[in-house]
Structure 1
Amino acid sequence: MTTHRSKLDLVLGTITDGVLVVDSQGVVLYANQAAEKLLARSPIVGQSLAIPVNPDKNSYQDINLIRPNGLAWAEMRSAPLEWDGQPGYVIALRDITERKHIELERQKFVSLADNSMEFIGMCDMNLAPFYINEAGMRLVGLDSLEQGVRTPVQEFFFPEDQRFILDEFFPRVVREGHADVEIRFRHFKSGAEIWMLYNVFFIKDSTGEPAGFATVSRDISASKQVKAALREASQRKDEFLAMLAHELRNPLTPINNAAHILDRLKQEDPRLGWATEIIKRQVKHLTHLVDDLLDVSRIVQGKISLKKERLDLVEVIKAVLETARGFILAKQQHLDVRLPEQPILLEADSVRLSQVLLNLLDNASKYSLEKGRIEVNVQLLGAEVEIEVRDNGTGISAELLPTIFDLFQQGSRTLERSQGGLGIGLTLVKQLVEMHGGRVTASSPGAGLGSTFSVRLPTIIEAPPCPVSETPTPSPNAGMRVLVVDDDADVRKSTALLLELNGYEVKMADSGKQAITLIDTFHPDVVLLDIGMPGENGYQVAQCIRRLPNGSDLLLIAVSGYGQAEDLTRSQEAGFDHHLVKPLNLTTLCNLLEPKFANKLN
């Protein structure tokens, strides 16, 4: 018996399954080493185990094993057995703890996946799906998991996107372990597109070998629709602003021309000269406001461009001060200005510098009480010029000071100072100053103690003298013929009269058809052609002019209320030599005509 028991111990000691013999009360009569290890008890013979067995027949079941080191699972087989004359049972235990953990994790995953509203799926390395959750099937219109399993991954996408998925996207997932892309899923029933954020993960097995791919993808169709609507709204806004600017520029042109005509015709009465200067200055200000209107989107995107020229900063400041005196005097505020006597030469955009200074003065006036004091101090500091705008107004709190130049940032408003603006002025100031290679700072002793804004800009050593007037010196008997084409009678007549006062021979046309006829009889050297005309627009007329026998010799200048980059490109493509934006700057126009006049004389 001992020999048989020893042989039994030797045989059962070599297997990985646990083997037990228990009596009818569950007391262990025999256990091999695997059983002791599985149950984490040694020695175990003589101990009582609460293991359920079927007393009548062989049984098979999974059981929980409570061990000192935690819960485990075992696959149990049992059968009645007589051991040393005692009735009992032989029990075989196979450790399935790892498998159970895997099953539990899988159940958790399936439970989470089935309750998720996102598309969750898995496929093998050949892109053949083997799991899609309920939400995923509903989302793409699958009737069953079987239908999804029979459908290769690429079929979930539109034909034009499949090559990208196969040749670019999944190889990137393999290289990087994970990738995501916004792409359209195809609804299997309706064929409709469903925009998804497609997140794909590379799956490896326990040995590190490739096993397949998993995805957790989110429906972003609604956000795509919102973005598309926002893009459309933004486009409509840009179109509206461009149209609004065009409509505002059209009446500014004859007003501006009339002001220059008055300037030519003014007599001894100084009041006429004073009124003329007011008109010219305010037209210029309105023109700048219209330009700023079109800069709204550019400010947010940081796409403001500069048109630099050599200029005298002192003259720019003087012009801005004339504009600012209106709103400063309206509040009976005192303006103290200290400017250097000599010119200060900069390479800068006069319009944008005017915006900077006007915004700082406007800010100082708004946040100062009536009869407050505003100071403007300008001084040279080596290779830089410093412009200080100081006020004794509400000041800036310590909390606001670090963010004063942020977009839409404002101090608190009170009823007596309710007009605080939109909160973009100082942001624009900072952007424009930095684009000029300068810097701007703000300081304040505190709330109620006033504030100081300091702008520093680089200067240049020398420059040609700056023009002091927009109105060029007349050129009597210039002998140059100019044809003005515009359907707006005020624009047409005022432009023609202004050119005549400057010595040019001028004819007018109110349509493209009339312009073509006059070119044949008048033989102009220059054609000023409005773009927005009824019937044939300026682009179409320009193309017709260029096809005339002498059309290539004409200086063709587009005149328009539209001045966006795409408008300039379209003018160039239509055959125009130059594109001017209304209201016309007479100095700019005459500078364009001078080379043509010089060639004619030669």
Structure 2
Amino acid sequence: MLQSSTPEGGANLTPTPPQRSEGSGARREARARALVLVVEDHPEMSRLLVDTLAHDYEVATAVNGRDGLEKARTLRPDLVLTDVMMPEMGGDELVRALRAEGELASTPILVLTAKLDQDLRVRLLREGAQDYVLKPFSVEELRVRVGNLVTMRRARDVLQQTLASQSHDVTALAEMLSERQEELAAASRAKDEFLATLSHELRTPVTGMLAWLWMLRRGHLDQAAAARAYETMEGSIRSLVRIIDDLLDVSRIIRGQLRLEVQPLSLVPVVQSAIDAVRPAADAKQIRLETVIDPEAGPVHGDPARFQQVVWNLLMNSIKFTPAGGRVWLRLARYGADVQVTVRDTGIGIAREFLPHVFERFRQADGGTTREHGGLGLGLAIVRHLVELHGGTVSAESPGREQGATFTITLPLIAARDPASNGTRPAREEERPASTPLLQGLRVLVVEDEPLTREALTALLTQAGAEVGASASAAHALEVLRTWKPAVLVADIAMPDEDGYTLLRKVRALGREEGRDVPVLALTAHARPEDRERALAAGFQAYLAKPVDPPTLLEAIAELALASARLPGHRTSTAQEDRREGTAVGNETILLVEDDLANREYSRAVLEQFGYRVLTARSGDEGLRVWTAHRDEINLVVTDLVMLPGRSGVQVCHAVHQQRADVPVITLSGYPLVAEMLEAGREGMVECLQKPIEPEDLATAVRRALDRAQASRAPEPPDGPSAKTRWAFS
């Protein structure tokens, strides 16, 4: 069948009339739009491909290679887009069969594959495929590659007709084809080089993990070596997750879907947090990290999390390319109506001919650099895009090789005349009449390793009437708690030796008389939404991101103290605390639908550890059978999104909501690009968690969904309905 766009932007299916004896060229000439034949056995992927291409092309579909070959013989498409792994006849057999057909031998073939097997790709290209795209793919990249091949095919048809009519434009057309072929060849080489680098970056940490696992399973390691093994494996896993995050960021950049949470932003704490995050890496290479920070630099309009990512990327880039014992400088300063962040190093420098390409995606100076220093060549490209989204510019300078490099970010300051955007409260806040200090007589313990911030918080709280204790480390704070009982503890999260999470765990492990029930407020420069979720899930009663407005901080401390005073006995674990930490409240039952054994057992163990009753199923069909038998008991469904055999996670969700629309559904996906492109949130799911999933993230998402479902069933308050559940990727 053919897929074509309706005037309203939708799509309908129309049968293709039988063709008689016209030649394939005549048929293509008669078509107003090019015809693409999509050969894909996975229904959701086939739908995604049709939706992607239907705006620009007529699209026909086939479910396997044999079906595709028959439709190609009938329809004479301008391009065949085929998967590799399919029943009855795979994509590789289809390529060979098409090349053996007379009139189909020159039809362009674009292969989709999830395999990184280089031998398979080379064999497909040798057997007649023109190009390939790896899953998961960028929709925009697929459109461009399809457009290039269709353009080449139609240009070749025109060329053949021109030659037949003895046209005088043959030379120009041949040059155009040659240029396009060179561009495609260059793009293919760049893609192959990037895939080789990606393979190296993925395989290297995995190799170390396998070696450590082998030794752990055989009991060859003493306690110290085992601890080292776990630490190394955790670092390797986080390295792999960082690679995946970079790839997803680049994919969102290409598709124009990277968004900022813009707000008035003071750059000093954001830059300082990035410096703190990279200092261990600098210390490990004995690199001297020097900073000059102007406290008056700012404010700007920006996203705290994304700008911290920018500064972190630049600093890590300099540290990576600076030899041991070198120096890296960071300067934050104001210049007229702008603010600049400058990162300079004594590293290997940048060749003059490479400077224009330093911010391009997938580009690195040479293979030697890739082998010696690692990386995918994505960090600086992400920096440029994020800086431009902030309305700024970024530049790179270097005198040449072995002479260091300098990167400069320039951002516009918020205009002084804009009172709504200058990062401060309206004047009326400052004009309040003097009254009894908000925290009069309240004991507050501040735990902050940065001396200037600690001093400023102490002065602020003292001025508000509080009795303030100050600690520079978690260890000192624990000593203070044994002799001095605060009403509220305010703690930074990113601290040397022991962070805020470690401090919180140790506080909760104290005896009641030693202060285990003290409410704890997280005050941190880690300002992303997931940072807030993690802090609250860990047990912090409140969370504020730096820079914080002083009245907001004072009010938050006062509210915590007041709420604590209303809880007689300070129970160790209230129902509210249980919900915040992700644990079950009552006998709550979860249906877990996951086809992969390891993921299923892992998710089940995590949920049972947090107190939930878990029913499991290995496929969508089995999941619906379990649902039918227990639907009155099930409070929530957790299901894989698109990789289930039989029914997909979307179909499971539909079936569940046809019978009980009040049951929340959370999806798990290792294929986030398809999840985003399918807009799974519109299918009725409350949240999509991206694999790999931290135990706390899974438990928190489940608790959040159950609480929202319970709230939505409660009577509406007098001032209006409760907020609707928000679709989000985690």
TM-score by length of 1: 0.48
Name the structure where helix makes up a greater proportion of residues.
Answer: 2
Name the structure where strand makes up a greater proportion of residues.
Answer: 1
Q: Which has the higher contact order (CA 8 A, sep 6+)?
A: 1
CA radius of gyration, larger in: 1
